[in-house]
Amino acid sequence: MAIARTLAIEPGIVQVVLCSRIVDLQDTHRLEQDIDDIVRYAQTKNAKLGVTGALLTDRASFAQVIEGPIASIEGMYSRIVDDKRHHGVELLQYVTTHVRLLPLWPLAFVEVDRIPDIGRINGRSTSLDRWRACISVLTALRPLLLG
């Protein structure tokens, strides 16, 4: 089958898309340091765990796509929720797949002007709100995905 030669098929891969709000928007130096720390730590840790993904920020929010083995993703999700550098973590998508969206990136970092639809996500968001926010995150990743 031709498609199997061009795509790495990995049964049981989980892909999660989530968003959160940055805690301290006023301290830009601290924010830079936090982002650097998150990216450096995650790139090393993700490579060891077989996890790939991307972290996006518009300096008010974070959005993440993480994908890998279910045990790795569930442990990572728990650590993300407990991280005090952000709050209001909201799960936008959780799917099981066989093909990674970001197979070459232990953690890509993307800074954008704005992530549309993320600002309205909260504990009372509808399924449609979450779907729109998820599409906004994936759309923001387009330049990374297209090379």
Give the domain range for residue 139: 2-146
Q: What does each of the 147 residues of the chain score in pLDDT, given as a tens digit?
A: 444 445 788 888 999 999 999 887 778 888 889 899 999 999 999 999 999 999 999 988 999 999 999 999 999 999 999 999 999 999 999 999 999 999 989 999 999 988 888 888 888 889 999 999 999 999 988 887 776
The number of folded domains in the chain is 1
CA distance to 23, 78, 85, 115, 139, per residue, from 144 (Å): 26, 26, 25, 15, 10
Which pLDDT belongs to residue 125?
87
Q: Find the CATH number of the domain harbouring 47.
A: 3.30.70.100
Q: Considering just the CA atoms, what is the radius of gyration of the chain in Å?
A: 15
Separation between Cα atoms, residue 118 and residue 122, nearest integer Å: 9
This prediction has a pTM of 0.88
